[in-house]
Amino acid sequence: MLPSQLRGRLRIPAMAAPMFLVSGPDLVVETCKAGILGTFPTLNQRTAEGYEQWLIEIRRGLGNADCAPFGAQFGIHHTNPRQAPDLALAIRYQVPLVITTLGITRDITDAVHAYGGLVFHDATTIRHAKKALDANVDGIIAVCSGAGGHSGTYNPFAFTTELRPLLGDKTLILAGAVSNGQSIAGAIASGADMVSLGTCFITTHESMAPDAQKAMILESTINDIVYTDKISGIGASFLAQTFSRASESRGSHGVFDVAREISPKLWRDFWSAGQGVGGINSITSVTELCDRLAREYGQAVDRLTATAVAYAKRLSGAHHHMPDYSAEDSMNSESGSVAPAPEAPATLAIDGAIATITLNRPHAFNAIDPSISICLESLAQQIEATEQLTVVIVEGTGSAFCAGGDLQTITGDTDSLETVLGDMISHYHAFIAALRRMPKLVITSVQGSAAGAGLSLAFMGDLCIAADDARFIPAYGRLGVSPDGGGTIGLVGAAGPQLALRIFLAEDSVSAAQAFAWGLVAKVVPAVDLKAETRRLAERIAQNSPAAIAATKALVYDSGSRTIEVQLDAEKRSLLACTGTQPFRANVNRIIEARLNR
């Protein structure tokens, strides 16, 4: 999973890899401004003093803008004369992300964690990853076959499969031959939390690579990439064309040495690139590249969502007697022509800073079945990855908000019920967890009945607005099951344990008026005005800055598990962080100007 320091700060789950002789302040700053984590190797500056100037330049370039964090890569090896002074500067300037390569020790991670920074470690094998995890790193960059520069030999899917269980809730970053947004989505789908891209950033205007190297990449394909350890003693990927102009015979390299590795000639003569070169066909600005990556990533997520929904419907229809929504309408019996595909069981609409998720199974009162649970999880992931969004509305089409679990699923084939129901709940709970986790204010807009999982969903929102005809129906106890869908979190948080138990076990239903009296809903409005009033509330909340919304939500939900001293300290740090944002400065200037003009 993404660490808290990165949640809500990335446009897509990606970082620009630290590339030797390529990544500099201009590339880092523009990447971060475009919403992708920008990084650079400290050894791209020939002296510690020069590296310090770069840190100052990057900090100045980013200012207090609301953008992605930056990181610096460090070679942790006894032959690196810069290791100690460079790390000291990272601590002094509180570099948000420290990337370690070659080695890692616990004292390094402890020093970075002390100021609130993150540590990711490059690993090409399971053994290297385990050593880094023993040192308490926050994430592993799985450098796979096909990566540019020093790379591993493992297939990315195989490496991810073995690493994921080892990492638990730590961050897994996949690196290797990724040059477009579709590949980013594929990596996330396979179990990674982020992706590291390098070669596609070489051909940006802001990279320090020579024009001839950029041109060579545009002309290259996967067949032009050579993986060899003959250049530096460690396996790395190079453009084959560079071997024809420089002697490959440099004698025995002996033991790997950082000082020799960073000599000006070694990587100047032999240009590096990854196997993703074939997808790179133009020299662009970093902003244009990041826009393309985000657009492609969104398209890929949509494709995965549509595919998942299609297969979920097929599975449901084949094994659990679920209605085939397209059976009656998919074919015109007279003409034989194919009609438009049925609508998705849940939809997403984005308008400015406001996203609206609509449960779209009105014929089933928006009940939760396998197809909608998969769709909702995917939509939540898309919202989490879209930084511009600050408010999320969850609503239902038709006469009901959500009738809970679809009984046709629950009463299906008993031999496979546990598997199907378990999978459905897992996807649905991933959606619920995302709503609570995301640094955006979630409003549930409830009309008609909200039963079972629908009741839980209504109260897992950060605010609930209800139509005067809304009724909240526990349903669980009478059905003979315990609550799910976050009901024991949302309802307990809003009502307290005793009232929650009363609602779950001793109430047939709760009216909108009673829910308002108990403090469970923020507002009750006439049913005909529900959509307009919900939008009005969302627009009012969206006037707050993204940082204020995210920080306030986090503080409120974390307060119950903290001592007063810890919570007050968290409030202090959060407020100070907000004062560094552009909206805060603009608001302060506006207030001062208004006072002066009185």
Which range marks the domain in which residue 550 is found? 546-596
73 found inside a domain? yes
**What does the DSSP 8-state code read for residue 350?**
E
308 found inside a domain? no
Distances (CA, A) of 227 to 152, 216, 236, 260: 10, 17, 5, 20
321 found inside a domain? no
Q: Are residues 239 and 273 in the same domain?
A: yes
Domain stops at, among 517, 541, 565 = 541
Q: Are 219 and 239 in contact (CB under 8 A)?
A: no
The tokens for 73 are: 């890569």
Q: Are residues 362 and 469 in the same domain?
A: yes
Q: Are residues 572 and 515 in the same domain?
A: no
Across 3-12, 208-217, 449-458, least confident range: 3-12
Task: Name the CA dihedral angle for 199, 94, 137, 11, rounded to a multiple of 10 degrees.
Answer: -50
Q: Are residues 497 and 583 in the same domain?
A: no
Chain-centroid distance of CA 523 in Å reads 32
Q: How far apart are CA 518 and CA 418, in angstroms?
A: 36
The tokens for 381 are: 């992931």
Q: Are residues 480 and 561 in the same domain?
A: no
Domain stops at, among 259, 276, 292 = 292
Which of the four pLDDT bands, split at 50, 70 and 90, describes residue 109?
very high
pLDDT digits (tens, 9 = 90+) for 239-286: 999 876 554 444 445 555 555 555 555 556 789 899 999 999 999 999
**What does the DSSP 8-state code read for residue 242?**
G
- Residue 351's domain is classified under what CATH number? 3.90.226.10
The tokens for 228 are: 């060899």
306 found inside a domain? no
309 found inside a domain? no
Q: Are residues 94 and 109 in the same domain?
A: yes
Mean pLDDT of 480-502: 92
Q: Are residues 519 and 555 in the same domain?
A: no
What confidence score (pLDDT) does residue 190 get?
Answer: 92
172 found inside a domain? yes
Amino acid (1-letter code) at residue 4: S
What confidence score (pLDDT) does residue 259 get?
Answer: 54
Across 26-40, 205-219, 250-264, least confident range: 250-264
The tokens for 394 are: 């969850």
**What does the DSSP 8-state code read for residue 224?**
G
- Mean model confidence pLDDT for the chain: 87
Q: Are residues 126 and 184 in the same domain?
A: yes
Q: Are residues 417 and 496 in the same domain?
A: yes
Tell which wins on pLDDT, 306 or 582: 582
Q: Are residues 31 and 117 in the same domain?
A: yes
DSSP string, 426-458: HHHHHHHHHHHHSSSEEEEEE-SEEETHHHHHH
Phi, psi dihedrals of residue 350, rounded to the nearest 5°: -120, 125
Q: Name the residue among 227, 60, 257 with its Cα closest to residue 154.
A: 227
Q: Are 414 and 468 in contact (CB under 8 A)?
A: no
What confidence score (pLDDT) does residue 305 get?
Answer: 67
Q: Name the residue among 441, 436, 408 with its Cα closest to residue 424.
A: 408
Q: How far apart are CA 26 and CA 348, in angstroms?
A: 36
Task: State the chain's maximal CA–CA distance in angstroms.
Answer: 84
pLDDT digits (tens, 9 = 90+) for 440-466: 999 999 999 999 999 999 999 999 999
Over 293-323, what HEC string results?
HHHHHHHHHHHHHHHHHHHHHHHHHHHCCCC
Q: Are residues 347 and 219 in the same domain?
A: no
Q: Would you call 223 exposed, middle or buried from its count of C-beta atoms within 10 A (0-12, 13-18, 19+)?
A: exposed
Q: Are residues 489 and 559 in the same domain?
A: no
pLDDT digits (tens, 9 = 90+) for 123-170: 999 999 999 999 999 999 999 999 988 889 999 999 999 999 999 989
Q: Has residue 470 got a pLDDT over 60?
A: yes
411 found inside a domain? yes
What confidence score (pLDDT) does residue 579 get?
Answer: 87
The tokens for 16 are: 């620009």
- Residue 140's domain is classified under what CATH number? 3.20.20.70
What confidence score (pLDDT) does residue 589 get?
Answer: 86
Domain stops at, among 519, 541, 563 = 541
> Residues of 498-532 as b/e, b for ≥16 C-beta within 10 angstroms?
ebbeebbeeeeebebebbbeeebbeebbeeeebbe
Whole-model pTM above 0.85? no
Domains in the chain, number: 3
Amino acid (1-letter code) at residue 73: Q
269 found inside a domain? yes
Q: What is the rounded end-to-end Cα distance, in angstroms, of the chain? A: 50
